[in-house]
Amino acid sequence: MPPSRGNAVNKDDAEAIALQALAYLAADTQRLSRFLALTGSDLGELRETAKMPEFQASILEYMMGDESLLLAFCQEAGIDPAIIAPAYGLISRNP
């Protein structure tokens, strides 16, 4: 389980959060279709690209761009919405 508010998020947590967010999107055809259309991603390559930090960052960026979607995801996943931006920052740096 990712950390709650006040706890630092590490890169492993950030990657897990991104994959949870992708699973949340994939659980609903309409949500997934919108994400794929807006990001230019392809359903056929989703499994492979899900492992890439750039793609994981795009998932979190997408979620942060839609507050209602972000809050619904965080509520369902039991994640504090305040850790999404730090998680994005860790992944997008991709050392």
Residue 94's pLDDT is what? 59
Q: State the helix-helix crossing angle for 53-64 and 11-26, rounded to 10 degrees.
A: 70
Confidence of residue 95 (pLDDT cuts 50, 70, 90): low
Angle at 72 (CA atoms; ends 56, 37), nearest 5 degrees: 50
Q: What pLDDT is attached to residue 4? A: 47
**Most confidently predicted of 6-10, 39-43, 81-85:** 81-85
For residues 20-25, average pLDDT: 96
| pLDDT for res 68 | 96
**Which helix or strand (DSSP H or E) is residue 32 part of?**
helix 29-39
63: its two tokens: 């979620």
User: Closest Cα to residue 13, out of 26, 25, 1?
Assistant: 1
Burial class (CB in 10 A: 0-12, 13-18, 19+), 45: exposed
What CA–CA distance (Å, rounded) separates 95 from 74? 26
- Residue 7: the pLDDT is 59
